[in-house]
Chains A and B, each alone.
Chain A
Amino acid sequence: MAEFCMPSLGADMKEGILVKWKVEPGDQVKRGDIISEVETQKGIIEIEVFTDGTIEQILVHPGEKVPVGTVLATIRVPGEEAKAPREERPPEPTFKYKFCMISAQHKEGPAKRPPEPTPVTTAGKRLKISPSARKLAAELAVNLSTVQGTGQGNAITRADIERAAEAQNAAAPLAPVKPEAGMRQAIATAMARSNREIPHYYLATHIDMSNTMRWLASENKKRSIKERILPVVPLIKATALALGKVPELNGFWIDDRLQLQEAVHVGFAISLRQGGLVAPAIHHADLKSLPELMEALHDLITRTRGGRLRSSELTDATITVTCLGDLGVETVYGVIYPPQVALVGFGKIMEQPWAENGMLGIRPVLTTSLAADHRATDGHRGAQFLEALNQYLQKPEEL
């Protein structure tokens, strides 16, 4: 039996409201199918299922607000027998909600690190608590000093943590928070953590964009207006390819070590009109052609602004790209989105004097910056990444 849980969709998410089920008990599902919708600070997110199987039981119903890690439904995986006829109601559980074995279900993600460390002792006494209960407390942001242990020798058990989480949740009023305020809070939490934990280093370089802009102009002339490619598209592709040369920038810093990611999923920062931003992932950006990337970007921006993102898009990004050139910004000094280890910033492509081979000319120039985590890489590798990016942009026809 597999458990389908309230996912963690960012460094900040603690809970979500189940809005809608797209399946019912007995329905067959395939890994990657969208089976429910959850409302978060980032809008309505379509949640994908992580396994093949048959929906066994729905445990959380539309309108209910539950913490990250709550089991939303159980799924019978292929080869498993149906447990019991459906009309036979299971015994009333002791707690209203059941929690997933998060570590088994989710990849290690940002939500696993609460903003504040859980105290080891309370009132000077050492707490009796198992490592697994402590981990659960951290995941559910339960303050251990408020938990009464019911285990052997008053040790705190997982059940105690679950009870405390539920009480904490019930105590938290479901005050109608303006979505903008929620988003601001979410960004505040993630960025404060970034600046507190990540020793950033910054590099910037000027890239001559003549070749790319010339090539793009001639490509776009051949295309109808609906198929035009924006200059940001070759920038995303070149970034993704340059990561192939410097893979240490594509990954996560978790458990005090760099965890490289093989797939390149570029998180693209998209600002929202009501304020705030989201950086959903363009999956496998390195393997997409420029027209495919343009289509993916169009789809992603439209759905982000329409509040229709998928769960994998919020959790999969392995690096972030941010473009602020439309507003005339020359250089971006980025803040890394944890647990990622790098952010690439693009400014405005501006005509500038450019000296080359003893001649002075006017070229479209792009200031490209890299903010990187010094725990994961050093400036030397960062510099190699920027140079690789530059080289790719000199041969746009190969992108």
Chain B
Amino acid sequence: MKEELIRETIFRVLRPITPEADFDELAPDENMQEVLDIDSFDVLNFFIQLYEELGVEIPEEDYGEIITLNDLIGYLAIRIE
């Protein structure tokens, strides 16, 4: 349930950044940045929006752990109150 809410939030925040993306096509174990073709500026914006929605601030040193959609959902799930 929590994971489902996180997934919805992720897609809602991503929508204005990648207006043309079809999220159904995004496999949970694919490299999100590559598949969605977003640059480091977009990634920072994405993380800022996630922070505003979910209150989780992702430090730069953790960027390496977050490659796929599953990584991100898992990362956020254990940090949300």
Contacts and interface: CB of A to CB of B under 8 A. Distances in A.
Interface of A: 217, 220-221, 224-226, 228, 230-232, 271, 273-274, 297-298, 301, 326
Contacts of A220: 60
B61 interface: yes
A221 B33 CA distance: 23
Interface string B43-81: 010011001000001111100000000000000000000
25 contacts: A217-B60, A220-B60, A221-B59, A224-B57, A225-B44, A225-B47, A225-B48, A225-B57, A225-B58, A226-B48, A226-B51, A228-B44, A228-B60, A230-B40, A230-B41, A231-B40, A232-B40, A271-B39, A273-B18, A273-B19, A273-B20, A274-B20, A297-B41, A298-B41, A326-B33
A225 B33 CA distance: 19
Nearest to A302: B45
Interface residues of B, number: 17
Interface in B6-24: 18-20
Contacts of A221: 59-60
B44 A230 contact: yes
B61 A225 contact: no
B41 A301 contact: yes
B16 to A, nearest CB: 10
Secondary structure type dominating chain A contacts: helix
Nearest to A230: B40
B51 to A, nearest CB: 5
Contacts of B57: 224-225
Contacts of B18: 273
Given A225-B47, A225-B48, A273-B18, A217 B40 contact: no
Contacts of A230: 40-41, 44
A287 B61 CA distance: 30
B48 A326 contact: no
Contacts of B58: 225
Contact of A225 (B37, B39, B51): B51
Q: Which interface residue of B19, B20, B41 has the most chain A CB atoms within 10 A?
A: B41
A295 to B, nearest CB: 13
A326 B38 CA distance: 8
Given A217-B61, A273-B18, A326 B40 contact: yes
